[in-house]
Chains A and B, each alone.
Chain A
């Protein structure tokens, strides 16, 4: 087990380097001049050149690459062109909000999705099953910002149950939850749609297993069969799939933070886009790279922990 853990950690290192290289290439090598994009179409050649020199874009590519990798790995992600503060500090300021939002929506997604998926599988081809299937398909068809706008209109503007601008809330827990609620529900519903579908198909597979038939044949009560024999086994793929969907969740959290005007990584990245803050953008790409590599690592490890059949090779 420990060996597997170490191996997996070591394996994450080349992945991290590779993804950082992708980020570097996206930023430098793709056609299109970041300085031009930052300054807009009307900018003169002189201004563009000055910015290129300031950003170090005029230096040889290899030199830029080495500098970029050094900086990225040592936590020196540059300073914002707009505020002049270090990118790392800005990120650390808002990242708790994004983590809070992500965890809350996974929780909501699991609380709705797992029972609904299991229930749907147990009543296969009934009206309940049909409605659940169409409903979850509709749920995952919603672009996150569309659902967010609808929730905002209904519950914040019409009913005034929640704040229109979810600033993250002040000190008290109740206030913080009130600000978290609507964004988390928005992402949670979409997450629930995915989880419902995976739970349902995984549950259907387990229900067809021989050991379930055996348990039924020897007279184990229905609920015990469902609870002990089916659900626990069915949840193994669900956990890993949730890991895979974290990517979608990260993308959707950007849109959710914009609509609810909530602090977080997504808000930061869009702010950097509109203010044409190149170093901030590049720093945030590095942040997302780290997050994605860590999430993938955690998903793999979780898989190893919950399913003893996984061979640690």
Chain B
């Protein structure tokens, strides 16, 4: 790479080391692997939803309502005669999509904010981090609830609300290493060679913070999925009849004395995916922060 782009040859050994440590940490931790495999299976189910689902998740069939598990309806049917298994599979799609996109946005925007704050320093840094601290002081669920309540529940608004709550932690975690890296000799060399600020940040600083951002990403994806499910449960999720896990739990809960079991399959699904993501993050957390700082959220 350095031969082709003419980067100074003193360039980023720390970045490579950081990435190597990252993969070593992953490999030596069995919990992380179990989490990753479980998550991959759920993600695969979501992607292949049209193939795996046995029915149309929206198709109502009142004659077949509230049936127990059978060969035709693997997990039975709900109060409208819709196939629970198919709704569960399509619900996975929505959960992962909303969680994934919002965390991706938070990762990109948050790291950008943190890098800019750390790189330029001074008053800009202080001002940006003050705003981040203010946002961070809000519990994700409360801030998400406020935003969705005011903007109305839709996929786009949910993504916006969840991304907003997740930006500050990424800004924080991106800022600290930027501050220390920017004083290094090789960054100085890049400046002397006249490289632009965006280029120095993208090529020489980003690789240093990337592993930490990835670990935070897995932990916050767990939070994002939990928040989305919670909002759906409260009734602020994507509108029915679209299948969401939180919404399905709500449907079972509303008639808890008669149809409590409708809540069970989506409950287990949420638990499995959040647990899997936390397992991935758990083994890697020591790598990012031995004092468990990244656990905030909820």
| Chain A contact residues, CB within 8 Å of chain B | 15, 18-19, 22-23, 26-27, 30-32, 34, 36-37, 133-134, 137-138, 140-146, 149-150, 152-153, 157, 194, 197-198, 201-202, 205, 237, 241, 244-245, 247-248, 250-252, 254-255, 258-259, 269-270, 273-274, 281, 285, 288, 292-293, 296
| Beta-carbon contact of A281 and B149 below 8 Å | yes
185-219 of chain B: CB within 8 A of chain A: none
A31 CA / B87 CA spacing, docked (Å): 31
Most chain A CB within 10 A, of B135, B229, B275, is at B275
Point out the residue from A34, A37, A143, A270 that lies within 8 Å of B226, measured CB to CB: A143
Judge whether B240 is part of the interface by a CB distance below 8 angstroms.
Answer: no
Residues of A close to B147: CB separation below 8 A: 26, 30
24 contacting pairs across A/B (C-beta < 8 A): A22-B138, A23-B146, A26-B146, A37-B150, A37-B151, A134-B31, A141-B274, A141-B278, A149-B260, A153-B256, A197-B295, A201-B291, A201-B292, A205-B290, A237-B291, A251-B139, A255-B230, A269-B145, A270-B234, A270-B235, A273-B235, A273-B236, A292-B137, A292-B138
| Beta-carbon contact of A254 and B141 below 8 Å | yes
Residues of B close to A258: CB separation below 8 A: 233-234
What 1/0 mask marks residues of chain B from 142 to 162 whose CB sits below 8 Å from any chain A CB?
110111011110000100000
Judge whether B97 is part of the interface by a CB distance below 8 angstroms.
Answer: no
Residues of B close to A296: CB separation below 8 A: 137
A198 CA / B147 CA spacing, docked (Å): 31
Which secondary structure characterizes the binding site on chain B? helix
Shortest CB-to-CB span from B83 to chain A, Å, is 22
8-58 of chain B: CB within 8 A of chain A: 31
| Chain B contact residues, CB within 8 Å of chain A | 31, 130-131, 133-135, 137-143, 145-147, 149-152, 157, 222, 226, 229-230, 233-236, 249, 253, 256-257, 260, 263, 267, 270-271, 274-275, 278-279, 282, 290-292, 295-298
Contacts A26-B147, A247-B138, A255-B233: A145 and B249 contacting too (C-beta < 8 A)?
Answer: yes
Residues of A close to B230: CB separation below 8 A: 143-145, 251, 255
When C-beta atoms are compared, the residue in chain B nearest to A270 turns out to be B234
| Beta-carbon contact of B151 and A32 below 8 Å | yes
| Beta-carbon contact of B229 and A250 below 8 Å | no
Residues of A close to B149: CB separation below 8 A: 37, 273, 281
Residues of A close to B157: CB separation below 8 A: 32
A278 CA / B123 CA spacing, docked (Å): 37
8 A-B pairs with the lowest CB-CB distances in the bound complex, closest first? A248-B298, A251-B141, A32-B151, A247-B139, A251-B139, A141-B275, A141-B274, A146-B267
